[in-house]
Structure 1
Amino acid sequence: MTSLLSACTMMGQPKTFTFRHNPIAADPQAAGSAQVMTQAGGMVTTTLTLTGLTPGKTYAAHYHAFGPDSNTDPCASNGPVTVGFPSFTADAAGRASTTVTSEMAKIAGDQGAYINVHYGDDLKVVPVCAPLKMTKG
């Protein structure tokens, strides 16, 4: 990811990744993007902008590292959390956004290979995922 972020997010120029809906019934209209921007001092700011969520529902989002379950689909790899976003609640129209700033080291390499958005009250429910890196290594 370091090379991905370095090549695509020169200081002040964000890289945008699109969320895709996971093959589950939860929030079938959920969609959105993750905007990743490098900052001074080895920091990265990521802003999630989402639509189609359940109005009034609380969500959690996390960067995940590649897990053991897949070499080609980070969203299916069941990897460990590397950075958590502040929890957020969808507005009456099902829209929400949240931002986190983290050290590049916590999302570089195979860390931060994808971002999941989970139901806040049931982290097993993951309506959308944004793959940031498609292969290990």
Structure 2
Amino acid sequence: MNTRNLGLSVLLLSLLSGCMMMGQPRNLAFRHNPVTADPNAAGSARVTTMTDGMVQTTLVLTGLTPNKAYIAHYHAFGPASNTDPCASNGPVSVGFPSFTSDASGNGTTTLMTEAAKIAGDAGAYINVHYADAPAVVPICAPVKTTKG
């Protein structure tokens, strides 16, 4: 191996190592809320902290109503519960881009946001809502387990 190829290999390895040091992604499971909407809805949220202080969250969902528009949000812990963020009725801290499920009821959306917008109680849970009826919340992913 010549010196140039060795140098490129070392550079590539150091770049890959840097990517791995950004932070291990955290996978959060969605759970169905006590509503009749989308009874088979499930999925996960993959949360990755980037080196620049940004956080990328990708929602991968199944069991949604086919070809239906949805919205999703990070919510802060609300006053209704200290132990179950999904039941706490907290305010929206940041929203995901809206998305439409496919013909099989699968949906994906990704949000890139500043870590400060979901730090502490500001990112206590992620709700997925019907876009045409935001009060309908079939699934929720708890990010925190206790307030504070």
Fold-level similarity (TM above 0.5): yes
What amino acid sits opposite 1:54 in the alignment?
T
| Structure with max Cα Rg | 2
5 Å matches for 1:85-124?
A: 85-124=96-135
1:48 to 21, 46, 59: 59
| Deviations 1:22-52, CA, capped at 9 Å, x for gaps | 0000000000000000012210000000000
- Tell me what 2:145 maps to: 134
Shift of 1:13: 2.1
- Tell me what 2:31 maps to: 20
- Tell me what 2:75 maps to: 64
> For residues 122 and 40 of structure 1, what CA distance do their matches in structure 2 show?
37
Where 1:111 maps in the other structure, the secondary structure is: helix
Q: Retained in 2: the 8 A contact 1:31–1:51?
A: yes
Number of residues of Structure 1 aligned to a counterpart in Structure 2:
129
List structure 1 runs of 4+ shifted beyond 4 angstroms.
none
Shift of 1:10: 5.6
What amino acid sits opposite 2:126 in the alignment?
I
> For residues 40 and 32 of structure 2, what CA distance do their matches in structure 1 show?
8
> For residues 83 and 21 of structure 2, what CA distance do their matches in structure 1 show?
26
Q: What TM-score does the superposition give when structure 1 sets the normalisation length?
A: 0.92
Where 1:110 maps in the other structure, the secondary structure is: helix
What amino acid sits opposite 1:69 in the alignment?
A
- Tell me what 1:3 maps to: none
Where 1:62 maps in the other structure, the secondary structure is: strand
Q: Which runs of 5+ in 1 are unaligned?
A: 1-8
Q: What TM-score does the superposition give when structure 2 sets the normalisation length?
A: 0.85
> For residues 123 and 10 of structure 1, what CA distance do their matches in structure 2 show?
38
- Tell me what 1:6 maps to: none
> For residues 96 and 64 of structure 1, what CA distance do their matches in structure 2 show?
20
